[in-house]
Chains A and B, each alone.
Chain A
Amino acid sequence: MLRLEKLVKTYKTGDQALKSVDLEVPDGQVLALIGPSGAGKSTLIRCINRLVEPTSGNVFLGGVELTGLSSGNLRKERRRMGMIFQEYALVERLTVMENVLSGRLGYVSFWRSFLRKYPQKDVDEAFRLLDRVGLLEMADKRADELSGGQRQRVGICRALIQDPALLLVDEPTASLDPKTSRQIMRLICELCKERGLAAIINIHDVALAQMFVQRVIGLRFGAVEFDGPPDALTPVVLTTIYGEEDWEATIDKIDEEGDEPEAAE
C-alpha cells in the first residue's frame, strides 16, 4: 500500500534528516513512529505527501510513484493521504464546517470552493463526520472558538472527508492534556479500523503509542532503529532509540538539535 525506498532528505543547511529509510506499510495497518526530537519523524511524514521535497529515494502509494509526479498529479494523489497536524492547523478564521469541507478542495473546482457551493454529498458527509466526532452543534462556530481537543476532532474530520487510503498523523496529542490525548488517539484508531485505513502516527508518548497501535517504528538520527510489535519495546530497545541512559547526554543532544529545521515540528 505504502512503500518507501531509500528515502533521503538533506536540508540546505547540510543536516541529514533522513538517511535512506526503507519502510513498507500494508493496507489498514496503524503504525506509530517514535523517536527523539530531531530524529526526522516530522520530515518523514512530510516527505510522503511531499510537503517537504525528498532529496532522493522513492515513495510508492498503491503502485503510484509519488516523487516524480507533476504538481497536478501530485495534488490528485494528495487527496488519498489525509493529514492531521500537531497544532491542529485549522484555518482559524473560517467556520468549523468550512474547515471540514476544505478537505474536499482537491475534488471541487476553484469557483465551487470559492463560493462555498460544495456538492450535496460532500455537505452530508461533513455533517455525518461532525456527528461521529460529536461536534455537530459546532458546525457554524468559528474554529478559533473551539478548545484544543475539539479543534483536533475537526482536523480529523478534515482529513477523513478526503476519503483517504492513508492517514499521516503528525504529533496529534502534543498540545493536549493526557485525558484528551487518549480520547483523540482512540478516536483516530477507531476511525482507521472502521474505514480500513492505514495510518502513520508520529508520536512522542511511547506509552500512548503502545496502548493503541499494532506496529512501532523507532527512528533515530534519520534511520530506522526498531521495527516491531509494541510488546517488543523493552527498555533496552528504548535506550537504542532515545540514546544512552546518560540523561545529561540526551538533554544536550536535544538542545543541539533544536537548531535543525525539523525541530519546528
Chain B
Amino acid sequence: MSKDLNSLVGKPWKKPPFIQRGWLRWSLVLGFAVYMVAAVLTIEVNWARVYEGLERGKQFILAFTSPDFASRSGDIWDGMLESIIMTVAASVVGIGISIPIALGAARNVAPLPVYLICRGIIAISRALQEIIVAILLVAIFGFGPLAGFLTLSFATIGFLSKLLAEDIESMDKVQAEAIKASGAHWGQWINYGIQPQVMPRLIGLSMYRIDINFRESAILGLVGAGGIGATLNTAFDRYEYDTAAAILLIIIVIVMALEYLSGIIRERVQ
C-alpha cells in the first residue's frame, strides 16, 4: 500500500468517510432523510391553536415572576407532604429490598438459580414504567399514597439492584478472597469482603434514587396514586398558572437541594 508523493501532489484530498462502505453510508443517510420527512409530515399541528396558545404561554411564564403560594396553600402543603412521605418510605423499603436482590444478581456472589431469579425481577421492574405500574396498583389497591409508595419501591429495586450488582461484579476479587481465606462464613464474607468495597457506591446511588423518587412522586398523583401531582393537575385544568408555577418552583427547589445534599454526601463517603 505504498504511496508516492508525486501521485498525491496536485490532487484534491478528502477526509475518509466515517462509514467506509458507500452503499451503507448512502442508504443510512437516505433512510434517515425519508424518515424525517415522513415523521414531520404526519404530525398534525393546529397552528391557529398554537398561535392562540402563545398568549397563555406568555401568561404562564409571567406567572413564574409572581407565583401564588397562598390561595391554595393547604392543598400544596398536603400534596407536598404526601410526596415527601411517599419518597422517604419508598426509598427506605426499596433500598432495603434492593441490597439482597443485588447480591443475588451478582454472578460472583450468587449461585446460578438465584442469579436468574434476581435478574428476572430486575428486568421486569426496569421494563415497566412507574406510571403504568401506578395505574395497575391503583386499580388493585384503590386510590391513595399506598399505590404510589408501592410503585416507587418497585421501581427503586430495578434501578438500584442493577447498578449495585454491576458494581459487585466489577469489584476487586483479591480483597474478597483474602477474607474468605481467613475462614469466614458467607455472612462474614459479605460483611467484610464485599460491603466495604461497594458501600460508597451504594450510598451515592441511593441518594440519586431518592432524588428520582421525589421527581417521580410528583407525577403519580395524575393517576390517583397520591402526592402533589393531583394538585398540579387541578391547577392546570383551572388555568391557575400562578399556583402551578408555585408548585413547579417548589419541586425545582427541592430537587436542587437534594442534588446539593447528595453531592456533599458523595464527597464525604468517597
Residue numbers of A with Cβ under 8 A of B are 95, 97-98, 116, 118, 120, 123-124, 126-128, 131, 136-137, 139-140
Chain A residues whose C-beta falls within 8 Å of the C-beta of B2 in the assembled complex: 137
**Closest Cβ–Cβ distance, residue B19 to chain A (whole Å):** 15
- A64–B227 CA distance with the chains assembled, in angstroms: 69
- A193–B128 CA distance with the chains assembled, in angstroms: 71
- A199–B22 CA distance with the chains assembled, in angstroms: 45
**Closest Cβ–Cβ distance, residue A55 to chain B (whole Å):** 35
B1 touches A137 (CB 8 A): yes
Known: A137-B1, A137-B2, A137-B3. Is A124-B14 also a contact (CB below 8 A)? no
A128 touches B5 (CB 8 A): yes
Known: A131-B5, A136-B5, A137-B2. Is A124-B10 also a contact (CB below 8 A)? yes
Known: A120-B10, A124-B10. Is A98-B15 also a contact (CB below 8 A)? yes
A-B CB proximity, top 9 nearest = A131-B5, A123-B13, A124-B9, A127-B8, A140-B16, A116-B15, A136-B3, A137-B3, A127-B9
- A108–B11 CA distance with the chains assembled, in angstroms: 19
Residue numbers of B with Cβ under 8 A of A are 1-3, 5, 8-16
**Closest Cβ–Cβ distance, residue B60 to chain A (whole Å):** 39
A97 touches B5 (CB 8 A): no
- A140–B16 CA distance with the chains assembled, in angstroms: 7
Chain B residues whose C-beta falls within 8 Å of the C-beta of A136 in the assembled complex: 3, 5, 8
**Closest Cβ–Cβ distance, residue A125 to chain B (whole Å):** 9
**Cross-chain pair count, CB within 8 angstroms:** 33
18 contacts between A and B (CB under 8 A): A95-B16, A97-B13, A97-B15, A116-B15, A120-B10, A120-B12, A123-B12, A124-B9, A127-B5, A127-B9, A128-B5, A128-B9, A131-B5, A136-B3, A137-B1, A137-B3, A139-B8, A140-B16
- A76–B13 CA distance with the chains assembled, in angstroms: 26
Chain B residues whose C-beta falls within 8 Å of the C-beta of A124 in the assembled complex: 9-10
Given A120-B10, A120-B12, A128-B5, 7 other A-B contacts at CB below 8 A?
A123-B13, A124-B10, A126-B13, A127-B5, A136-B8, A137-B2, A140-B16
Nearest CB to that of A115 among chain B residues? B15
Chain B residues whose C-beta falls within 8 Å of the C-beta of A95 in the assembled complex: 15-16
Chain A residues whose C-beta falls within 8 Å of the C-beta of B8 in the assembled complex: 127, 136, 139
- A116–B65 CA distance with the chains assembled, in angstroms: 48
Nearest CB to that of B1 among chain A residues? A137
Nearest CB to that of A125 among chain B residues? B9
- A204–B147 CA distance with the chains assembled, in angstroms: 69
**Closest Cβ–Cβ distance, residue A65 to chain B (whole Å):** 38
**Closest Cβ–Cβ distance, residue B34 to chain A (whole Å):** 25
**Closest Cβ–Cβ distance, residue B211 to chain A (whole Å):** 33
**Closest Cβ–Cβ distance, residue B12 to chain A (whole Å):** 7
Chain B residues whose C-beta falls within 8 Å of the C-beta of A126 in the assembled complex: 13
A116 touches B14 (CB 8 A): yes
**Closest Cβ–Cβ distance, residue A116 to chain B (whole Å):** 5
**Closest Cβ–Cβ distance, residue B166 to chain A (whole Å):** 28
**Closest Cβ–Cβ distance, residue A70 to chain B (whole Å):** 33
- A128–B10 CA distance with the chains assembled, in angstroms: 11
**Closest Cβ–Cβ distance, residue A134 to chain B (whole Å):** 11
**Closest Cβ–Cβ distance, residue A262 to chain B (whole Å):** 29
- A120–B51 CA distance with the chains assembled, in angstroms: 51
- A124–B9 CA distance with the chains assembled, in angstroms: 5
Chain B residues whose C-beta falls within 8 Å of the C-beta of A128 in the assembled complex: 5, 9
Nearest CB to that of A126 among chain B residues? B13
- A127–B14 CA distance with the chains assembled, in angstroms: 13
Nearest CB to that of A117 among chain B residues? B12
- A191–B13 CA distance with the chains assembled, in angstroms: 25
Chain A residues whose C-beta falls within 8 Å of the C-beta of B16 in the assembled complex: 95, 140
- A143–B15 CA distance with the chains assembled, in angstroms: 13
**Closest Cβ–Cβ distance, residue B6 to chain A (whole Å):** 10
Chain B residues whose C-beta falls within 8 Å of the C-beta of A137 in the assembled complex: 1-3
Chain A residues whose C-beta falls within 8 Å of the C-beta of B1 in the assembled complex: 137
**Closest Cβ–Cβ distance, residue A166 to chain B (whole Å):** 27
- A179–B68 CA distance with the chains assembled, in angstroms: 74
- A263–B27 CA distance with the chains assembled, in angstroms: 51
- Among B1, B2, B9, find the residue whose CB has the most chain A CB atoms closer than 10 A: B9
Chain B residues whose C-beta falls within 8 Å of the C-beta of A123 in the assembled complex: 11-13
- Among A95, A118, A123, find the residue whose CB has the most chain B CB atoms closer than 10 A: A123
